[in-house]
Structure 1
Amino acid sequence: MLKKKLFTIFGPLVAAVILVSALFILPIQTNHVRPEVWKKASTAMSGNILGGNMIKNQAIASGEYVPFFGSSELSRFSPFHPSVLATKYHRNYRPFLLGAPGTQSLNQFAVAQSLRNEITNGKAIFVISPQWFVEKGVSDLEFNAYFSELQLYDWLLSLHKTDQATQFYAQRLLHFSRINQNKKMSTILTAIANGKTIDELPMAQLATLKSNYQLLQREDQLFSQIGMFTKNKKVNKFEKQLPEIYNYQQLDALAYKIGEHRTKNNQFLIDNQFYQTRLQFGLKDLKNSQTTWSYCQSPEFADFQLVLNQFAKSHTDVLFIIPPVNKRWSDYTGLSQEMLQNFAAKIKYQLTSQGFNQVVDFSKEDTVPYFMADTIHLGWRGWLKADAYIAPFLVNPQPKVNYQLNNERFFSKQWQEQVSEVYH
């Protein structure tokens, strides 16, 4: 009687544990993702897609999708967003949006590294936000929010030789609580930071890494589509607002008209809803609040060098876009436009001196009406002008890349802290 009662209580639990274990252990084929899932995922910008490997990797490997790296600007959908324009005008590519509010260079390096095979000899778009380059770089909170254990194991298990970039990345990871509060992981990364390779780790550590990686891969296969909130309904809605034939002047006039309509409740030409919900009630406190801000001294410059290392290893041809800051807003907050021009010069030097010559600098478009959607994000006319560079870059053949990395300089503290009007 007691056995029967115990079975009634614990039987379903045991059965559930067995079923879940079977899902992770048995070789059930769940690796293939349907193209309609790629399409949904390409605009979702959800953490499980960004931090997973299966869906995004298969989509980009198909050749139909191009990775668009960035952060919150990618989430500002309008009729002139890259995903809308590519769909409306039947381009031979579709953007796969890789970023979200809070993602910065360290997160983007992890994503690019996880796509190393898929982006080899391919193309990519990368939007550089000046706001990443604050004094302390990416915060612990923001890094942890998008940290992918799967991608960390993927990187670790590929380390059969070490270099300066490898050691630098391991050292940077040890600064964040998701890593340094995990004794096993911090021990492994300390060894990597000191120059060891994956092959030099103790067998027990290596076996644990491989086992955990397999479990995380299985989890990615089974659950990556959960919570994937695609923006494709927005894409479909916005493309209906565009003329059937692409004409830049006609589209720019439309962007001006829409921008004008959407920014009527404030003097900054900021989207009405953004202004009303994010700025209006604290506006007085924001006046002259950014007079001491600088984006020219930051560990982010070295973190960004990690991204360039991965693109160089993969021979990926990348178009970099530097957006402006809304001058009406910066004049109000006291954010120095001179400093912003200095930032643009510094990041362009870091790129072009190493052979990353495809750079679109919009930093002087700060006064163009409706170029920005709000204080710092590309808007109606901004995305349209960006498209005038993006489409030809992606559609037309480009010269073969020839990168010459200077890690000694660009990982250095001196470069992170250098402030100069002339970089050489």
Structure 2
Amino acid sequence: MSFKKKLFTTIGPLVLAFGILGGIFLSPFKFSETSPKVIEEASTSMAVNVIKGNILKNKAMGTGEYVPFFGSSELSRFNAFHPSVLATKYDRNYRPFLLGAAGTQSLSQFLMLQSMADEMVGKKAVFIISPQWFVKGGVSKEMFSLYFSPLQTYQWAKHVDQIGDSEIYTAKRLLKFSSVRSDTTMKTLLSQIAQGKPLSTTQKKLCQVKLNVLNREDELFGHLGMLGKQGKIKKEEKLLPANYDLDQLDKLAFRIGEDSTKSNKFQITDNFYKKRIVPVQNSLKGSQKDFDYRQSPEFGDFQLFLAEVARLKMDVLFVIPPVNARWSEYTGLSTEMLDQFSLKINKQLKDQGFDNVLDFTQDRGEDYFMEDTIHIGWRGWVALDKVVAPFLAEPESERPNYHLNSYYFSKEWKKLRPSEIN
């Protein structure tokens, strides 16, 4: 056998395999379809692939059946009164699509929202703001990296035409993370936008090449590792009365909460308390006395989300959950600080026309309102549904009148003490 034939025999299959793989990733043709069943599973999975991807959530938004619920770990607290359970049980005209998990914060949620822009103009959404996001350093590098989506970031960069405060802030903020800077192409593009310089036609074509590969990857692998909560929903909805009645639901929530928290005085679920609290309880007494949510980069990241809501003319219900008062008294977490956080975030929202705010800060001591230390529980979900259900009953509403203020991107606002607010 000649040398050329031997060489072809050795590397030919490898070249062919790379050629086929390249064809799959770069081909404009679709190799799979997202069935209603797959979308249903995705809507309650809170899987990393779903959060970082586009195909499943965007397809869901295009059906008109799903409404995005942005948040973090509270979305995973499934009980009979969870929004997904209530919407299924009472055959609502919407189904929540849960966009968040433990560690997702405003920056990731902004990237998610802008990646759904074509489907979200004039639409409604629910956004749960966790005070715990607003720590001194903002979102941690580890958590941001876990949910960082190159797909959504290249998509954002490609569509930047006019550069303003929002675009410059986004680019500069993203460049602070090593998971972003490690992509040299992305680093170059973002650095240019951060300097206020638009991308060239060639650079936008480069973004599209990257997007072609990332979109194909999302299409092929975006559904992997996805475990929906449909079984849990079916189990929990059996506990609910046949007809929707808020008073009846609240009484039921009280009873279930009472039965679920018999092991402790904090009204924390027995399982969570025994596994997560008991082994370290003594060390947690007074441990949160220095926690502060009033000065944080998160206020700027949150402003990004607000700017995108305004651009898309969306109507969003913003929800501020409380912290379990019984637990915060034990750990020393300042209720005065939490009240001041509420003042500051409400100022940022309402000063710019985001008036649809459901603030539960003062419900911190309500019985069985919380499921554990910081997450909404039985009666909390019922109280939320009292507002969410009528809000989402009509898919369209009058377009809100927003008036954005770039001051809320500033270092001055992030560091401003609520006591200094006029």
1:236 matched residue in structure 2: 234
Residue of structure 1 in register with 2:50 after alignment = 49
Query: Is residue 110 from structure 1 mapped to residue 103 from structure 2 by the alignment?
Result: no
For residues 64 and 19 of structure 2, the distance between their equivalents in structure 1, rounded to whole angstroms, comes to: 39
Alignment root-mean-square deviation, CA: 1.8
Q: Secondary structure at the match of 2:119?
A: coil
1:336 aligned partner, one-letter code: S
Q: 1 CA distance for matches of 2:296 and 2:266?
A: 28
CA contact (8 A) 1:41 1:55 kept: yes
Does the Cα contact within 8 Å between 2:341 and 2:418 map onto a contact in 1? no
* Residue in structure 2 matched with residue 319 of structure 1 by the alignment: 317
Question: 1:134 & 1:99 partners in 2: Cα distance?
Answer: 18
Partner of 1:123: 124
1:400-420: CA deviation from partner (whole Å, max 9, x where unpaired): 31000011x101111101112
The answer for the alignment partner of 1:142 in structure 2 is 143
Q: How many Å apart are 1:210 and its aligned residue?
A: 1.9
Unaligned runs of 5+ in 1: none
- Alignment partner, residue 227 of structure 1: 225
* Comparing 175-184 and 337-346, the one that deviates more: 175-184
Whether the aligned pair in 1 keeps the contact of 2:124 and 2:315 (CA below 8 Å) is yes
Please list, as runs of the form range in 1=range in 2, the aligned pairs for 1:240-251 lying within 5 A after superposition: 240-251=238-249
Aligned partner of residue 198 in structure 1, secondary structure: coil
1:291 maps to what in 2?
289
Classify 1:26/1:169 alpha carbon distance in 2 versus 1 (closer, same or farther; 3 Å).
Answer: closer
Q: CA deviation at 1:398?
A: 3.5
Partner of 1:36: 37
By how many angstroms is 1:143 displaced? 0.6
Q: Deviations over 1:36-58 (max 9, x none)?
A: 21111100111111111111011
2:361 to 359, 363, 372: 363
Distance 1:329 1:87 in 2: 32
In 1, the alpha carbon distance for the partners of 2:109 and 2:28 equals 31
Aligned counterpart, 2:212: 214
Q: Name stretches of at least 5 consecutive residues in structure 2 with no aligned partner.
A: none
The Cα shift of 1:208 comes to 2.9
- Aligned AA for 2:312? S
Give the structure 1 partner of residue 304 of structure 2: 306
Report if aligned partners of 1:323, 1:378 keep a CA contact under 8 Å in 2. yes
CA distance in 2, matches of 1:347, 1:319: 14
Give how far 1:8 is off. Answer: 7.2
Contact kept? 2:175, 2:181, Cα under 8 Å: yes
User: Quick one: which amino acid aligns to residue 256 of structure 1?
Assistant: F
Offset, 1:421? 3.6
The Cα offsets for residues 83-142 of structure 1, whole Å up to 9 and x where unpaired, read as 000000000000000001000010010001111121100100000000000001001101
Moved more, 112-121 or 305-314: 112-121
1:413 alignment counterpart: 411
CA-CA distance at 1:24 after TM superposition:
1.5
Question: What amino acid is the match of 2:118?
Answer: N
Structure 2 CA distance, aligned partners of 1:137 and 1:326?
A: 22
Distance 2:173 2:47 in 1: 24
Q: In structure 2, what is the Cα distance between the partners aligned to 1:352 and 1:291?
A: 29
Instruction: Report the AA paired with residue 343 of structure 1.
Output: F
- Compute the displacement of 1:244 (Å): 0.7
Deviates more, 1:11-20 or 1:325-334: 11-20
Q: Percent identity over the alignment?
A: 50
Corresponding residue SS for 1:335: coil
Q: CA deviation at 1:333?
A: 0.5
SS in 1 for 2:403: coil
Q: 1 CA distance for matches of 2:13 and 2:272?
A: 50
For 1:126, what is the secondary structure of its paired residue? strand
CA distance in 2, matches of 1:52, 1:368: 38
Confirm or deny: 8 A CA contact 1:108 1:307 kept in the other structure. yes
Distance 2:276 2:116 in 1: 35
Question: Which amino acid counterpart does residue 404 of structure 1 have in structure 2?
Answer: H
* Cα 1:288–1:211 shift into 2, 3 Å: same
- 8 Å CA contact 2:161–2:198 kept in 1: the answer is yes
Secondary structure class of the residue paired with 1:43: helix
In the alignment, structure 1 residue 328 sits paired with structure 2 residue 329: no
Among 242, 247, 255, the alignment partner of 1:257 is 255
Kindly state the Cα deviation for residue 5 of structure 1 after the two structures are TM-superposed: 7.9
Which residue number corresponds to residue 66 of structure 2?
65
Q: Does 1:177 align with 2:178?
A: yes
In structure 2, the residue corresponding to 1:143 is in which secondary structure?
Answer: helix
- Contact map agreement 2:50 2:56 (CA 8 A) in 1: yes
Q: What secondary structure is seen at the aligned counterpart in 2 of 1:259?
A: helix
Structure 2 residue aligned with 1:197: 198
Q: Do the aligned residues in 1 keep the contact of 2:319 with 2:360 (CA within 8 Å)? A: yes
CA separation of 1:260/1:7 partners in 2, compared to 1, >3 Å: closer, same or farther? farther
CA contact (8 A) 1:31 1:54 kept: no
CA distance in 1, matches of 2:102, 2:8: 49
1:287 aligned partner, one-letter code: K
Q: How many Å apart are 1:389 and its aligned residue?
A: 0.5
Instruction: Report how far residue 422 of structure 1 moved.
Output: 6.6
Q: Which amino acid counterpart does residue 399 of structure 2 have in structure 1?
A: K
* TM-score for both structures, normalised by structure 1: 0.95
SS at match of 1:357: coil
CA distance in 2, matches of 1:83, 1:115: 21
1:273 aligns with 2:266: no
**Whole-angstrom distance in 1 between the partners of 2:240 and 2:10:** 61
For this pair of structures, how many residues does the alignment match?
420
Task: Give the partner amino acid of 2:225.
Answer: G
Distance in 2, Cα, partners of 1:358 & 1:12: 60
Correspondence for 2:337: 339
Cα drift, residue 32 of structure 1: 4.1
Q: What is the alpha-carbon distance in structure 1 between the residues aligned to residue 318 and residue 131 of structure 2? A: 13
Which 4+ stretches in 1 moved above 4 angstroms?
1-15
